[in-house]
A and B are shown apart, each in its own frame.
Chain A
Amino acid sequence: MAVTFIDLKDTYNIKTKIKDIIVDVSIGDGQSGDFTISLGKQLIEINKPATMGKQDDVKGKKTIVSVKVDETLTETNRTSMTVTVTEGARVTTYGPYKHEVAQHLDSVVYTLKLSNQ
């Protein structure tokens, strides 16, 4: 079985000074998987939305989202994941990022690095 690594980079423009920045992940195509959300080297949450802090906590740092998707359905070999960053009422969506694996039971590790500006 194979693992495909998909490394992605993007930027997040902080919208406010006072609102909490919350990062969440959605795994699509009915597949199973797990994710971690980190701020730099510090792991914030596993498989749960992560409250990263406010502008002063994250500015200049990188939010790192790691997602492992296991292709476990016989109907499709497709995998996908979407990252959302919520700050108050404003939602910024990254993705969906998609990858179709070559064989059933293969896995995909998506890594999204978001530079907070």
Chain B
Amino acid sequence: MIKKLSGICIVFVCMVHSLYAQDASKLNVPVSPAFSILDFEPSAVMRPTNAKSLATDVLSSFDKNGKLLLNLGMEVAPYWLKSHPKLTRKTYLNPSLEQAFLQSLSISAGTAKDSASGANKLGAGFRFRLSNGKTVDELATAEAELSAKNKIILVINNVRSTVGEGDTRQSVTNDIAAKLKSESGLTEKVINSVKQRAGALAEKFGETEDDIDNFLKALITDRDDADIELKKKVSELVYDRKGFVLEFAGATGYNSDEKKFERFGFWGNASYFVSPDDFFTLTARYIHKSNDTILNNVDAGLGFLKKGPSYNISIEGMLRWYQAEMPAFDANNQPITRLEKSFTYRLAVQGSYMISKDISVNLSIGKDFESPFISRKAVFSILGLNYSLFSKEPSKLK
């Protein structure tokens, strides 16, 4: 299945200065901190949703000799491992600080083999929110629309729950129409469409009580299928937030060959969403890497992103204080540790404009961080044309 095959087939690049690989955004908390700290994306990620599957996934992460398998990832949201019958929609959508933490906490873990050194590495991380903003107005509208459609289903189910001797497919259809008319205030057109659909489905069933029960279940399922796009919309809008979002993450990387923790990082992100497509974000992070060289980065930055129907614009600035310790030799050719402390910054303006569904023009201009290890010009500008060769939607097989 081709899920997302998008090829940059033509890139005409204006190299004003030097060109370096650019991150899409430097200001986000990593989705999976454990994978981020290891700098790899595992080939398989397990996402257990209950205690039983968590235990199964943990056990299946080891080979028959009890050794941890490599290139595996796992993400677990502990709160969602069990049912929460007392968690209402209202509480879920407008959580308190404690509830926001519980609902959003996710723990990630990963294993990888370092392609350069061959060392086995383990990563573990967490991520949570303390404030999850507010819902967008469109969610209330979509939920109200879905609720109106659900009322039709519930009226049908009410009739189903009182089916008795003497009832026929026609009598229950008439009963449904009468109840819809008197109790839910629906228009004649909607009621007629329910009757028509009931008439079409009724032919497949008999007249026994069980047949009528199955006929009404089929009618409910049919109506529910018709609402699928609306349910999708509601499900997507749940995650569109506006207002203040406060998020934290942390991760550590362990080298099992050298038996030492060689990386750790902490991220904090405070964002204000004017709308889901228009937000400011303030980020702070600390990254420590300890290999042949030791590097400590402390970053703080501010970004703005705006998405329009056919364009995206992002502006970001980040300050970095770094300290690097690296092996070197002095004038007498004796090994020493060179210590370098400095300050650098990144400034970037990125934009894209969608010419058509499959073609967009992208422009990035700015200055990247300077590195204590590599001497380079950090200014970049990239102009590109992005063309999708393949459809993003999988084709339907007949």
| Residue among B89, B154, B160, B234 with the highest chain A CB neighbour number at 10 A | B154
Query: Is there a chain B Cβ closer than 8 Å to A64's Cβ?
Result: yes
- Is A40 a contact partner of B162 (Cβ separation < 8 A)? yes
Q: How many residue-residue contacts, CB under 8 A, span A and B?
A: 126
Distance (whole angstroms) from the CB of A10 to the closest CB of chain B:
14
Q: How many chain A residues touch B (Cβ–Cβ < 8 Å)?
A: 46
Query: Is there a chain A Cβ closer than 8 Å to B302's Cβ?
Result: no
**Would A30 and B231 be within 8 Å (CB), given that A2-B221, A75-B77 are in contact?**
no
Cα separation A115 to B228 with both chains bound (whole Å) = 35
- Is A1 a contact partner of B238 (Cβ separation < 8 A)? no
**Would A29 and B158 be within 8 Å (CB), given that A72-B235, A104-B235 are in contact?**
no
Query: Is there a chain A Cβ closer than 8 Å to B360's Cβ?
Result: no
Q: Cβ of B225: which chain A residues have Cβ within 8 Å of it?
A: 1
Cα separation A3 to B226 with both chains bound (whole Å) = 12
Q: How many chain B residues touch A (Cβ–Cβ < 8 Å)?
A: 42
- Is B49 a contact partner of A77 (Cβ separation < 8 A)? yes
Taking CB as reference atom, which chain B residue is nearest A31?
B89
- A34, A40, A100: the one contacting B150 at CB < 8 Å is A34
Cα separation A28 to B77 with both chains bound (whole Å) = 18
Distance (whole angstroms) from the CB of A67 to the closest CB of chain B:
8
- B154, B184, B221, B231: the one contacting A35 at CB < 8 Å is B154
Query: Is there a chain A Cβ closer than 8 Å to B103's Cβ?
Result: yes
Cα separation A95 to B239 with both chains bound (whole Å) = 29
Cα separation A70 to B231 with both chains bound (whole Å) = 8
Q: Cβ of B146: which chain A residues have Cβ within 8 Å of it?
A: 32, 70
Cα separation A82 to B315 with both chains bound (whole Å) = 49
Taking CB as reference atom, which chain B residue is nearest A28?
B85
Taking CB as reference atom, which chain A residue is nearest B184?
A46
Chain A interface main SS type: strand
Distance (whole angstroms) from the CB of A26 to the closest CB of chain B:
6
B residues apposed to A, CB below 8 Å: 49, 77, 80, 83-89, 91-93, 103, 143, 146-147, 150-151, 153-155, 157-158, 160-162, 179, 183-184, 217, 220-221, 224-225, 228, 231-232, 234-235, 238-239
Known contacts A27-B88, A30-B87; 13 further A-B pairs (Cβ under 8 A):
A1-B224, A2-B221, A3-B224, A32-B143, A33-B89, A40-B162, A43-B155, A78-B80, A78-B84, A80-B84, A82-B86, A95-B85, A109-B153
A residues apposed to B, CB below 8 Å: 1-3, 5, 7, 26-36, 38, 40-41, 43, 46-47, 64, 66, 68, 70, 72-78, 80-82, 95-96, 98, 100, 104-105, 107, 109, 111, 113
Offer 21 A-B interface pairs, CB within 8 angstroms, sorted by A. A1-B224, A2-B221, A7-B161, A28-B83, A28-B84, A29-B83, A29-B85, A30-B87, A36-B151, A36-B154, A36-B157, A43-B158, A64-B161, A68-B150, A68-B157, A70-B150, A75-B103, A96-B85, A98-B85, A105-B232, A111-B161
